[in-house]
Amino acid sequence: MPTTSTSKKRPVRPEDNYLLRGVSDPQVSPDGRRVSYVVRANDRETNERQASIWLAPADGKTPARRFTFGKKDSSPRWSPDGRHLAFIGDRGDKGQVFLAPLDGGEGRQLTKEKHGVNEIAWSPDSTRIAYIARTGHHKESKERNPVEKAAPRVIRNLRYRLDTIGYFDERRTHIFVADTASGAAKQITDGDWYDSQPSWSPDSKQIVFTSDRERLRHDRQFRADVWLVAASGGRARKLTRSRGAASYPSFSPDGRLVAYTGHEHGEASMAKNTHIMVVPAAAGGAPRSVSAAIDNTVAVAGPSRSYFWLRDGKALVFLVAERGTQALYRAGIANGAATRVLDGDRQIHEFSLSPDGTQIAFTASSISTPPELYTTSVGGGSRERNLSHANDELLAAGRLGATRRVVHRAPDGLPIESFVLYPPDYKPGRRYPLVLNIHGGPHGQHPTRGFGMRPQALAGAGYVVLMPNPRGSCGYGEAFTAMCVRDWGGKDFEDLMGAVDMLVRKGIADPARLYVTGYSYGGFMTTWTVGHTGRFKAAIIGAPVADHISMRGTTEIPTFSDYEVVSPFDDVEAAWQNSPLSHLPNCTTPVLIEHHEGDLRCPIGQAEEIFQTLKMLGKEVEFLRYPGGFHILEYHAPSQDVDYMQRATAWFDAHGGAKKHAAAPSRKPSRRRVAAATNGARRNGQVKTLQRVPTARA
């Protein structure tokens, strides 16, 4: 358990969000001597997240230096011959490919695509770059006349919008290949579908990519196949079987196999493990999982693939989500035997291998450690070196809370793990106000993205923050992940309350000062919680699912809702009774709601239903409607993040939280007191015994 810090620095606070730096997309140079990476910063003046490319020597003997000076530079990619660094930069003409001199300065613009460029990949012979660009007729708003601006969108497909992107139009994404000497570019795929994630064959003659070209492609989400096309263009050939998802394909060093991250689970993708799969490059066909022995999902995140081939082609190295961490594994192609390469109580976000496969550059963070870029040997025998030091200013400004992992057993005997974040000045033996923080998904995990300013700001304000991984979370085996399907608000809710009970029993949490918050599925569960118990003094509901019936009809991923919860067309009464909105007449907890108006995943109408219901019932409720944004937190303006953290702390403080009372002495409670503070509250009306309608498990 953490002890009291003797540092005179103040605890971290919401405004420190402007000091936080994101570190991502590490790329080791072909000679293994340098690492390029992206640093993202929250700019206070422009209220934007800006990005630039940095270079660091792999040995860490000299400091890293900023390499580009644009406001939105990303995707650094070394040419295989080591002579150039390509990147995507926005110089007022949307994102385009630039080729940079390695001594720094502005790069030479290679592309001039009208709608911009993303996802770049060098050919192994260093003569060409493949990239993705949108094609098709489209006018920007400033180019349209008043009649065109007033024209309707004509919707014919179920998949007509996507969070973080917005509404689709007539444009489609396709693959282009540009000659790096002349700049001449050729489009090599076309059609009424979206092609993405190109990768070259070792002989520079072919490109693999992902695309959903099936008949129902415009009426479903998160499905794709691996395709192969000649680098000069022509008819593409499908390598996989159209049974699930596929992303980031890559040829083996000998060109005989293609690896990719994916599955053949159809619409069950979120509740099932994602695998590292391999298929023959020549014939395609039935894929084979290389990662099946691990029984956890392979991480699919970041702007590049989350795995690499070893140089001899006999094994793959990849990231796996496990027990609140992301660890690095190695698995053999022949037998799938897997060994852990690099781990720790943290999340390794992205990585890159040196050409000889002996050194690794990776980005990592934890709840109590901001993101940085590190290098070490693949076997873990050498000391890890911090190459970026991007968050030194943040660490110098304020103290961060320490985190510990704890476990309790559910009534059915299932072990449930949680992370506990303590205030920087935590004093053992005293009780603290507790914030139950519920992750999203539901098949996510804590820590959601490693380091997070939101929980740290609460800890800095004097709260203990409890972050459980209830059944349904990923990282604890596929069976555990699937346990909440069609049972949202069932045993997963019991797991959360059991975690709170545990900290009350341990004398850490003050049972009279309990608070709850969550975002997305966590917003669903927070709403469910206030409708089922009065034990929490205040709640903050973020971007929730309120009503399964209206959610299914308004989200941009309705097939996900159909899989995860009971369909109203199967049992409308069960769909309503299993919606937290139906239980809000029982709510006695003051509620603050947070939602962005641009959210397409959990549309803001879900929050409006909660607010209006509570208001009409005469309950205490406030509503924070933030303009713009999407569901994903990274798309919110920095000032909105700071504003939310300030308001969240003030909301809990105003309802008896950390600023209202000093930490209370901890006394080991009697069994009777524990029961009254937790389960026994049913007898005095704090917890309403409300019936869930049982539904069949998918």
Q: Are 272 and 278 in contact (CB under 8 A)?
A: no
* Rounded distance between C-alpha atoms, residue 554 and residue 557, angstroms: 9
User: How high is the pLDDT of residue 460?
Assistant: 97
Q: Which two tokens stand for residue 592?
A: 């603050």
User: How high is the pLDDT of residue 632?
Assistant: 87
342 exposure class (CB count in 10 Å sphere: 0-12, 13-18, 19+): buried
Q: Which two tokens stand for residue 522?
A: 């966590």
User: How high is the pLDDT of residue 662?
Assistant: 54
Q: Is the pLDDT score of 294 beyond 50?
A: yes
User: How high is the pLDDT of residue 691?
Assistant: 41
**Which residues are paired to 468 by β-bridges?**
418
Q: Which two tokens stand for residue 624?
A: 């924070």
Helices (H), 197-325: none
**What average pLDDT score do residues 86-91 get?**
93
User: How high is the pLDDT of residue 266?
Assistant: 85
Q: Is the pLDDT score of 678 beyond 50?
A: no
pLDDT over 90 percentage in the chain: 79
Q: Is the pLDDT score of 674 beyond 50?
A: no
Within 10 angstroms of residue 237's Cβ, the number of other Cβ atoms is 15
Residue 97 backbone zone (phi > 0: left; psi -120 to 50: alpha; other: beta): beta
Among 215, 208, 167, 166, CA closest to 191: 215
Q: Is the pLDDT score of 686 beyond 70?
A: no
Q: Is the pLDDT score of 269 beyond 90?
A: no
Confidence of residue 523 (pLDDT cuts 50, 70, 90): very high
**What average pLDDT score do residues 426-439 get?**
97
User: How high is the pLDDT of residue 138?
Assistant: 86
Spell out a b/e string for 54-65, using b for 16 or more CB atoms within 10 Å of the CB, else e.
bbbbbebeeebe
Each residue's pLDDT tens digit, 597-615? 999 999 999 999 999 999 9
Confidence of residue 93 (pLDDT cuts 50, 70, 90): confident
pLDDT, mean over the chain: 91
Q: Is the pLDDT score of 456 beyond 80?
A: yes
* Rounded distance between C-alpha atoms, residue 578 and residue 695, angstroms: 9
User: How high is the pLDDT of residue 675?
Assistant: 44
Q: Which two tokens stand for residue 108?
A: 């030479």
Q: Is the pLDDT score of 392 beyond 60?
A: yes
> How far, in Å, are 64, 67, 413, 637 from residue 53 at the CA level?
11, 5, 49, 21
* Angle of CA points 326, 329, 333, to nearest 5°: 145
Instruction: Give kind and range of the element (H or E) at residue 646.
Output: helix 638-654
Confidence of residue 496 (pLDDT cuts 50, 70, 90): very high
Each residue's pLDDT tens digit, 234-267? 999 999 999 999 999 999 999 999 999 999 988 7
Tell me which residue has tokens 């000062």. 513
User: How high is the pLDDT of residue 665?
Assistant: 62
Within 10 angstroms of residue 263's Cβ, the number of other Cβ atoms is 20
**What average pLDDT score do residues 619-629 get?**
96
Higher pLDDT, 531 or 217: 531
Among 560, 617, 621, 619, CA closest to 595: 621
Among 526, 514, 497, CA closest to 595: 526
User: How high is the pLDDT of residue 335?
Assistant: 84
> Domains, the chain, ranges and CATH?
21-61+297-397 (no CATH), 110-138+157-289 (2.120.10.30), 399-682 (3.40.50.1820)
* Rounded distance between C-alpha atoms, residue 245 and residue 308, angstroms: 19
**What average pLDDT score do residues 502-518 get?**
98
Among 34, 27, 23, CA closest to 61: 34
Q: Is the pLDDT score of 495 beyond 70?
A: yes
Q: Is the pLDDT score of 395 beyond 70?
A: yes
The reply to whether omega before 249 is within 30° of 0 (cis) is: no
Among 483, 582, 469, 466, CA closest to 524: 582
User: How high is the pLDDT of residue 1?
Assistant: 67
Of the spans 4-13, 634-643, 645-654, which averages the highest pLDDT? 645-654
User: How high is the pLDDT of residue 170?
Assistant: 87
